[in-house]
Amino acid sequence: MTAGQYRFDALVVDEGQDLAAEWWQVLRTLLVENADVLWLEDDEQDLFGQPSVALDGFVSYESRDNWRTPQSVARLIEQWFPGRAVYRNPLPGLPCEVIQCQEEQEQPARLEECIRSMVQQGFEAEDIAVLTVRSMRDSFLHSVESIAGLPVRRFSGDYDDKGRQVLSDGKLLVESIYRFKGNQAPAVVLVDCSSRCTTSTDDVHAFYCGLTRCALSLQILWQGSGRWSS
């Protein structure tokens, strides 16, 4: 097949806020003239700081509706980030829990308690995602092999022949929000959270993105003091 045969009538771009301008120029070479393009982006989930791509000639439509986040999680998010979204999911969700850790070294033990609690509630290990708001190399999760007796599953660093991430064997997913964004899980535990998550721009985006990954249950390990009610 020649390069000229790679021409498409339509293109859907998801997570457009993460796309570099030069990548968009490459994609345009694969489109027929006057092709239909749907571009989806969310500035609130801009984790990589890419400059906005100029979309000349596009018709824009803005929606702040969030249909994933249950009401219990929405109430918690509103305490930190009021007015960022309109939460349309009518499901009540399970009560959220913010667990304070005075020292960072407390997190592994507290995480074990969280996972045991979720399993007792009826969640399968495969239903739970443990997410750090940092990069994996900067989190204690980087060296963890099991949590509450459950072997962990993480990105192996390899890709298959279709470009998909290859995960290690295991049951309980541990990952950075930077890699997990765009996904969801019934139950989520966020770790490595602190006051920076509500004050530092980069950390705010990562934290907000993490808060909106769960469909039912959310627990947060928080270092230091803070004010909230769940």
Same domain flag for 168 and 54: no
Pick from 10, 38, 62: which residue ends a domain? 62
Same domain assignment for residues 51 and 104: no
Regarding whether 99 and 11 lie in a shared domain, the answer is no
- Domain residue limits at 15: 1-62
Strand partners, 208: none
228 in any annotated domain: no
DSSP conformation letters of 162-210: TSPEEEPS-SEEEEEHHHHTT--EEEEEEEEE-GGGGTSHHHHHHHHHH
Residues 203 and 131 in one domain: yes
How much is the pLDDT for 227?
61
Give pLDDT, residue 224: 81
Mean pLDDT by 10 residues, the chain (230 residues): 73 94 94 95 89 92 94 96 95 96 93 97 97 95 95 93 90 96 95 93 92 97 74
Same domain, 52 and 121: no
Residues 48 and 154 grouped into a single domain: no
What's the pTM value of the predicted model, to 2 decimals? 0.89
Model pLDDT, residue 225: 73
For residues 113 and 21, state if they share a domain.
no
For residues 45 and 153, membership in a common domain is answered with no
How many structural domains compose the chain?
A: 2
Same domain for 13 and 48, yes or no, is yes
- Note the pLDDT of residue 49: 86
H-helix or E-strand spanning residue 154: none
Backbone φ and ψ for 167, nearest 5 degrees, come out as -95, 150
Please indicate, yes or no, whether residues 31 and 110 belong to a single structural domain of this protein: no
What letter would DSSP give residue 157? Answer: E
For residue 4, what pLDDT is reported?
A: 59
Inside any domain, residue 106: yes
On the CB side of 93, how many CA atoms lie within 13 Å of its CA?
Answer: 29
Based on the fold, state whether residues 86 and 34 are members of the same structural domain.
no
pLDDT at 1: 47
Q: Single out the residue in 44, 62, 80 at which a domain terminates.
A: 62
